[in-house]
A and B are shown apart, each in its own frame.
Chain A
Amino acid sequence: MGVKEITLDFLFLLTKQSKMTSDSDKNAYPEPPRQTPVVDKQTALPNPALILTKLFYYSVDLPVTTFKELVDGIQSGNKQKYYHQKFRRVPDLTECTEGDYLCYYEAEMQWRRDYKVDQEIVKVVQERLRACQQREGASYQQNCANEIQQFSEVAKAYQSRYGDLGAYASSRKCLMKQKERMMAANAKA
């Protein structure tokens, strides 16, 4: 067995046999089809990948998991809950009368929340693309075409809306950027 096969075996066995790693959301991060071949051992030598996985299991995985289960047992009685806050929609900056600073403030706060949400959306799409590339390996450009296209769309949209606003970005500057975009589109048409 070459070194490459051993490392691949090792990584595969590590993710499959360990209790610590577990994939979530099979729709966004689907598992590749199982390709484990029938074990056809032709040597009397032990499989080093198996030895290493067993070593890792008994030295790291098992103690950590038992400790976590212990702690979970202690904490299971009084589990607190936390929620995601839902904010009401308020009038936009375009719907505020001039000089109404209270309306400006509420619109600014809403824009900042939306900015954060958009940043997280970009991160999630990026993470999906990265996971897809890791799964497919060498043939990712062909198999991950959906993820690649989705990421490029999202990144282009983010860049055009929030692109070079900088550290002191505000809803007003974003609105001015949108105005410039619309003017450029009008000039081209």
Chain B
Amino acid sequence: MVGMSVLRSAAAFAARLNPLKSGNFAPNLLSRTAIRTDKVAVRWESHGKQMFVIKPTGYYDTRFLKLLRFYILLTGIPVAVIVTAVNVFVGEAELAEIPEGYEPEHWEYYKHPITRWITRNFFDSPAKDYEKMMALIHIETEKAEMRLKQQEVRKHMRMNGDGPWFQIETLDKNLIDHSVKSTPDN
């Protein structure tokens, strides 16, 4: 046992002194020995030595790219298929003159079938939007008129004092104690 350790330490010492000599091979990678360059492992044949290539992990990168592709194509492929099918089988509308006495619906003013579908099912007609805006403007105009009128009325009521506004409540006349007074206006 002791002899074995002595031999081992002697071999390590010899390897440290002169690592390039063929007799001083130290199998431990962690010992400070030089790498042999005269005998290399063959890697480009099928029966070459299998190498354990040390490189940084690509796990997270490949996982990200796979997930990216998956989630983009999950909706991307159906959308592409639907749009192609619509363009090939339904096709865009043709421009035509408005026939006499006919009022087209609001979606019949658009060319592409998908736009027509969206405006038919989800959006209000532009005429309705216009009327909604006009309604808002009307409400705001009425509010502005009301506010101006209120300011005018307030001014008059304050100045004249005979209106219902700016009346300050006073105590009841009957609560006044006249018994200590010599004259009523004391």
B96–A81 touching, CB < 8 Å: yes
Which of B96, B111, B137 makes the CB contact (< 8 A) with A101?
B137
Known: A71-B88, A109-B130. A82 touches B137 (CB 8 A): no
A84 at the interface (CB under 8 A from B): yes
A44 at the interface (CB under 8 A from B): no
Q: Which residue of A lies closest to B87 (CB)?
A: A71
How near does chain B come to A66, taking the closest CB pair, in angstroms? 14
Size band of the A side of the interface? 10 to 19
Residues of A66-106 whose CB lies within 8 A of B: 71, 74-75, 78-86, 99, 101-102, 105-106
Residues of A within 8 A of B141 (CB): 99, 101-102
Query: What CA separation (Å) do A130 and B116 show in the bound complex?
Result: 34
Query: What CA separation (Å) do A86 and B138 show in the bound complex?
Result: 25
Query: What CA separation (Å) do A78 and B138 show in the bound complex?
Result: 44
Query: What CA separation (Å) do A81 and B110 show in the bound complex?
Result: 9
A82–B138 touching, CB < 8 Å: no
B134–A82 touching, CB < 8 Å: no
A74–B88 touching, CB < 8 Å: yes
How near does chain B come to A170, taking the closest CB pair, in angstroms? 15
Tally of contact residues, B, Cβ under 8 A: 24
Which of A71, A74, A80 makes the CB contact (< 8 A) with B94?
A80
Which of A75, A82, A83, A109 makes the CB contact (< 8 A) with B90?
A75
Known: A101-B140, A105-B134, A109-B130. A82 touches B88 (CB 8 A): no
Known: A71-B88, A101-B141. A80 touches B93 (CB 8 A): yes
Q: Which residue of A lies closest to B115 (CB)?
A: A82
B140–A83 touching, CB < 8 Å: no
A79–B94 touching, CB < 8 Å: yes
How near does chain A come to B175, taking the closest CB pair, in angstroms? 52
Residues of B110-148 whose CB lies within 8 A of A: 110-111, 113, 116, 130, 133-134, 137-138, 140-141
Query: What CA separation (Å) do A79 and B89 show in the bound complex?
Result: 10
Residues of B within 8 A of A106 (CB): 134
B98 at the interface (CB under 8 A from A): yes
B95 at the interface (CB under 8 A from A): yes
B91–A83 touching, CB < 8 Å: no
Query: What CA separation (Å) do A71 and B97 show in the bound complex?
Result: 24
How near does chain A come to B113, taking the closest CB pair, in angstroms? 7
A80–B116 touching, CB < 8 Å: yes
Residues of A within 8 A of B113 (CB): 80
A102–B88 touching, CB < 8 Å: no
How near does chain B come to A181, taking the closest CB pair, in angstroms? 30
B109 at the interface (CB under 8 A from A): yes
Closest 5 CB pairs of A and B: A75-B91, A80-B93, A82-B93, A81-B96, A83-B98
Give chain B's interface residues, CB within 8 Å of chain A: 88-91, 93-98, 104, 108-111, 113, 116, 130, 133-134, 137-138, 140-141
